[in-house]
Amino acid sequence: MNDSPSFDDLPRAQRLAEQALGTLHRFLHVEAVSGATLLVAAAAALIWANSPFAHSYHAFWNLPLTIGVGEHIFSRSLHFWVNDALMTVFFLVVGMEIRREVHEGALSKLDQAILPLVAATGGVIVPALIYLSLNGDSAKAQGWAVPTATDIAFAVGMLALLGRTIPVNVRVFLLALAIIDDIIAVLIIALFYTASLQLGGFIIASIGVLAVLGCQRIGIGSAPFYVLPGSLVWIGFMVAGIHPTLAGVVLGLITPARAISMREPPLEVVSRVLKQLRSSDAVRAMDPHLLEQPLRDLRVAHREILPPVSRVQMAMHPWVAYVVMPIFALANAGVSLAGADLSAGSHQVMMGTALALVAGKPLGVVGATWVAVQLGWCRLAPGVSWGGVCLVGLLAGIGFTMSIFISMLAFSDQGLLRAAKLGVLLGSLVAATLGLGWGITYVRRQGKLL
């Protein structure tokens, strides 16, 4: 006999709260919503930076935020903490996505990875060439990598808006291409946008990495234990002259893709503990001392059902999608249109960036895919037509987050930086519109075929 109250027996306020939280949980995992949140944050930044309160926008993000112990003080602007510290969490999730896809996803088998690899490579080379054809002098040429990256949240969000008629393999193709795009972007940042390297920083980072691997080796699965060694990796990268956010990628790549070994399989532990609790007088007596060990075993087993790379990525996804990336957009998309001097040649940076995203990305993705298929290197996956490849190419032109991030590394001149950001915003908006328009046509054709 079950003495537990049914849902209808719960207090009305509790029932409403549970329904609201359940709806919110489902809402937060809709991919299109995260892209829309990012768009709202970018729009808010643009409006704020071009409003009568524009001075407060820049003043706010330049506010100093200081941490320190005793005489050791580290003070940086709020803008720094967003771009160099908070974005490390974004890159951590990127590293975990790469790790998981290489282990068991679209990049786990060479024959599956060839097509998105070739497509992503074309989607990097062609936009870079288009940009450089319009920006030949050395100062402007620094931004060649700005239009080469794809924003996963926006691209997948746009695809989600088109509904379930889109074949699964088209979505897999887009995800794999975007992840490879991220890998290339990370390599570009490390190789082309890194200052002179300092050996001492590498020593600090190596100590942090070894500490992380050591914790994994002895079976520590609790995330808080990795904060200190992870911070050492971040500090080491900063001291070494490498952008510190790349520490997140390194930590993501070394996150285990298999669950920590236990004496008993996690599901057996759960079953055993539940039987123990049902037959135990400690539950009825609510004795915390007798319940401590069984509940601890239950928490550990619950944690280790999934491998760390999947568990941490799932836990971090809402924070990245709805906190980290919107804050990044709010801090960096606020380009003052009144202060953008496009008459001094910086308009070429804006147009080159926008054109490279809108035209270069689809040309590179579709062209490289067509060449690879014609040469017999690979073939399109079942359900992926050339219309689907064109859709992926258009959506790949949405380069918001990573493109803005690279633009801040590429340009120290504020005029060129503003022009690059405007180009990213304009190009991404046009690419999203074209992708959505073509996607609606593609979905209708798929419906007729079905």
Q: What is the average per-residue pLDDT within 403-409?
A: 91
Residues 339, 437 within the same domain: yes
Q: What is the rounded CA–CA span in Å between residue 154 and residue 175?
A: 11
Q: What is the average per-residue pLDDT within 62-82?
A: 87
Percent of the chain with pLDDT over 70: 87
Q: Which residues pair with 67 in a beta bridge?
A: 74
On the question of pLDDT at 290 being above 70, the answer is no
Q: Which two tokens stand for residue 47?
A: 């409006």
Q: What is the rounded CA–CA span in Å between residue 293 and residue 269?
A: 12
Q: What is the rounded CA–CA span in Å between residue 144 and residue 379?
A: 31
Residues 294, 327 within the same domain: no
- Most confident region among 6-20, 123-137, 258-272 by mean pLDDT: 123-137
State the pLDDT at residue 449: 52
Name which residue leads in pLDDT, 29 or 312: 312
Q: Which domain-ending residue is among 299, 315, 341?
A: 299
State the pLDDT at residue 311: 87
Q: Which two tokens stand for residue 13?
A: 């306020």
168 close to 383: Cβ distance less than 8 angstroms: yes
On the question of pLDDT at 439 being above 70, the answer is yes
CA angle, 38 as apex, 37 and 41 as ends, to 5°? Answer: 85
Lowest mean pLDDT among 62-66, 106-110, 216-220, 420-424: 106-110
The one-letter amino acid code at 122 reads G
Position 202 in a domain: no
State the pLDDT at residue 100: 84
Average pLDDT, the chain: 83
- Most confident region among 183-192, 240-249, 423-432 by mean pLDDT: 423-432
How does pLDDT run across 356-366, given as a tens digit for each residue?
999 999 999 99
State the pLDDT at residue 1: 43
Domains in the chain: how many in total?
A: 2
CATH code, domain carrying 51: 1.20.1530.10
Position 313 in a domain: no
State the pLDDT at residue 372: 92
On the question of pLDDT at 289 being above 80, the answer is no
State the pLDDT at residue 209: 95
State the pLDDT at residue 141: 92
State the pLDDT at residue 124: 95
Name which residue leads in pLDDT, 314 or 204: 204
State the pLDDT at residue 30: 55
Question: Ramachandran region of residue 174, left (φ > 0), alpha (ψ -120 to 50) or beta?
Answer: alpha
State the pLDDT at residue 138: 82
Q: Which two tokens stand for residue 26?
A: 């489902």
Position 102 in a domain: no
Domain that holds residue 436: 32-79+109-167+174-191+323-449
Quickly state the pLDDT bin for 283 (edges 50, 70, 90).
low
Q: What is the average per-residue pLDDT within 216-222?
A: 85
Quickly state the pLDDT bin for 168 (edges 50, 70, 90).
confident
Residues 59, 185 within the same domain: yes
Residues 291, 372 within the same domain: no
Residues 337, 392 within the same domain: yes
Residues 287, 340 within the same domain: no
How does pLDDT run across 329-355, given as a tens digit for each residue?
898 888 877 655 665 568 899 999 999
Position 17 in a domain: no
Sign of CA dihedral 343, 346, 352, 358: negative
Q: What is the average per-residue pLDDT within 301-307?
A: 77
